[in-house]
Structure 1
């Protein structure tokens, strides 16, 4: 495909020439063609051969060259997604029934509607201050007006609108099937990792892990009169997964946890621009966190009483132990061998792994 600048150009406006017609290409482009073919050969030679099976297994990623600003190469990417992407796959649901784990494999062709929230975005439309929960459908069919249920809270979900997206365009959903992505416009009550169903099945999807943060900053609000806006902003950004928000059990300033410095800067900018909450970020003594569980409530309470100033809760209200070094966790494990320290948890609030 021959590139020409201009954002108003449509796919049919571009010339497409076969690569095997080398003589015509060399005649039309001369030295530019020679340079281009050398670059393509270099890129091809330095890259592994395309393996569709490896792509489906999540071990290989295709690379596309184009320009979104000039609307060049966009259709090729979309066509490749249609050709290469897999059809909807089965998903594993893990729930507790009478305190016993029940694992179920949900198939795309199952009749009951179900899906998982893989992204929550606040303030996509600054004029309406809306929040949209992006749901990847796992089974069944969606139709307008059907009843929806958030399995984490067992509450009914009543979205003000249900839409699909293409760039900045929104279109109302008339019907959707397994594999489709739909956006539920809400004013709260939905967070990352939530399982949404039509209420006829008891499901809880997993597979969206939260990693324990490695960096912490303390939130200091410059204008105390904006406390309400700060709390709202941190709650929504925490539900989005843009940052991990920890609320110390003993009170005090909120803590932000991240795996990279850029996360702090993005959240600071969004709090000021979207919530009018201007904050200052100060260093924290903590360098890590572990989500904790125990075999019995009594053992958990004993641990909390031993480390009251290290306890905090995140956006999913999951209890975490804050540490200043890896030795803190090791010493706490030796002192309380029946406490389980988890370096990651599910977005739905379920701990996945014990610390090794």
Structure 2
């Protein structure tokens, strides 16, 4: 397999990396760990992503080491706007080898305005890492994303991050997790030293002490030494005794790891770390390899499951343009569900029934790409300039299969987009079409407004800022954005236009897929119109921002 898992080196201490040779799909799938990291903004998600790549020896120096003011761009934050803002606003894929496993890490946007992108990524993973700030515990966005994982039956590993800074007591954090979301934490390790005085970790499985040594700015892997319990007591004194006592308390309360309970989403293996200092990151990688679930047969729309060794199948969970500024191309991200993918194979596009050629298949590592020859269940393949593909589309070889659609969120923010330079209308139209195909914002039109003033509908207002930025920098068409006061959308019938056009506080728009949407100022205006016009169809959109 000519992919990043092969060309990027493994952990130097773990022996040779995986040799990705064509063979048994189920056997290769067993070596895959495909997961996403979820968190509230500023919990350190992109920093952890970078630290994982650093410990797997696929990068030489961490990019996020000095905070937002002076940080270098992380590998996963490839968009210039992400680097300038210091936040992740689009998902990305990092694939690398570690020990005898292949890690597929899907980085997700941290900001709530980009929840839809995160939702789609979570549909493509087998597990998730829930990252919590030691000082803040469970925060609103984390709770919403946890509910998405629970709905999708995605097992969760919890990481308490920023233990090098002052924070809550560790037992308090565990109580908060269990009482708030009903997930019992089962710590794999325990911190030696209070939050803000992170000395190392008590490995609860071996009883040994892993002592960390700081590096300059946390830019490189933090050296660690392993000591026997007696040696640890001499080194750390009271701090070690406290850690041992608390670990024994956890054992007495039944907070030890149980693999079946973890897979059943009843418990969550828990670790402590400081991603910015690269403390505890190797331990997380080891837990992912040893405990996280490998790909399993995926459910189909017919209610059965596509076996791993069935002929090739995959589904598209993301479409992204603008990653390669030199070529202005478009990449469809597809999660392999079964069989062996080989570049150049002809697959069937389930939505159209037409053949699809995969000559331009690539492996992804953030913004970087390389030619991909072979992939297995759990892997993510990038299909370049696959203009026919949309989010949720299924691909297959031989026996037809279709995977469940990925629901769109109900938009809550609306804005009119207009080109600043009418002489660039061709570029404007191409940019709007691309945004529409990616599906992160919905593009709405009406006869009243015309094609030159489409309405963008999004989960969060920052999506409009990103869209305007991309229109100018990717499509060379600067635009003006005019926010609308609508806050709610409902599916209706096209013939409702006559009714809605006469009513203040409402408007009918058409989505590119032919769906008619009624927009309302607020839910009270919608309820009033519904009461006055009982025959008017007003169906909720599938999904919804409030759901996550």
| Corresponding residue of 1:81 | 288
Deviation at 1:220, TM superposition (A): 2.6
**Alpha-carbon distance in 1 for matches of 2:420, 2:266:** 46
The answer to whether the 8 A contact 1:137-1:179 is kept is yes
Deviation at 1:341, TM superposition (A): 0.6
* Aligned counterparts, 1:1-16, within 5 A: 2-5=212-215, 9=220, 14-16=223-225
- What is the number of equivalent residue pairs in this alignment? 320
Change (3 A) 1:338 1:262: closer
| Corresponding residue of 2:48 | none
**Is 2:424 the counterpart of 1:212?**
no
Question: What runs of 5+ residues in structure 1 fail to find an aligned partner?
Answer: 95-102, 293-299, 347-352
Change (3 A) 1:37 1:174: same
| Corresponding residue of 2:328 | 129
Determine which structure has greater relative contact order: mean sequence separation of CA pairs < 8 Å that are 6+ residues apart, divided by chain length: 2
2:500 to 307, 316, 336: 307
**Is 2:368 the counterpart of 1:175?**
no
Change (3 A) 1:232 1:109: same
**TM-score, length-scaled by structure 1:** 0.73
Of residues 174-183 and 131-140 in structure 1, the stretch that sits farther from structure 2 once superposed is: 174-183
Question: What runs of 5+ residues in structure 2 fail to find an aligned partner?
Answer: 1-209
**Alpha-carbon distance in 2 for matches of 1:204, 1:21:** 54
**Alpha-carbon distance in 1 for matches of 2:428, 2:462:** 19
The answer to whether the 8 A contact 1:312-1:320 is kept is yes
**Is 2:164 the counterpart of 1:164?**
no
The answer to whether the 8 A contact 1:111-1:139 is kept is yes
**Alpha-carbon distance in 2 for matches of 1:52, 1:332:** 53
**Alpha-carbon distance in 2 for matches of 1:80, 1:5:** 23
**Superposition RMSD in Å:** 3.8
| Corresponding residue of 1:276 | 476
**Alpha-carbon distance in 2 for matches of 1:169, 1:72:** 27
**Alpha-carbon distance in 2 for matches of 1:264, 1:90:** 38
Deviations 1:88-112 (A, max 9, x none): 2333333xxxxxxxx2322233523
**TM-score, length-scaled by structure 2:** 0.50
* 3-state SS in 2 of match to 1:126: coil
Deviations 1:16-43 (A, max 9, x none): 424x64744864x899x78x979x99xx
Change (3 A) 1:303 1:201: farther
The answer to whether the 8 A contact 1:149-1:197 is kept is yes
**Alpha-carbon distance in 1 for matches of 2:234, 2:324:** 49
* 3-state SS in 1 of match to 2:491: strand
**Alpha-carbon distance in 2 for matches of 1:210, 1:249:** 24
1:224 to 422, 437, 440: 422
* Aligned counterparts, 1:41-120, within 5 A: 56=263, 65-67=273-275, 75-94=282-301, 103-109=302-308, 111-120=310-319
Deviation at 1:66, TM superposition (A): 4.1
1:285 to 470, 477, 485: 485
Deviation at 1:284, TM superposition (A): 0.7
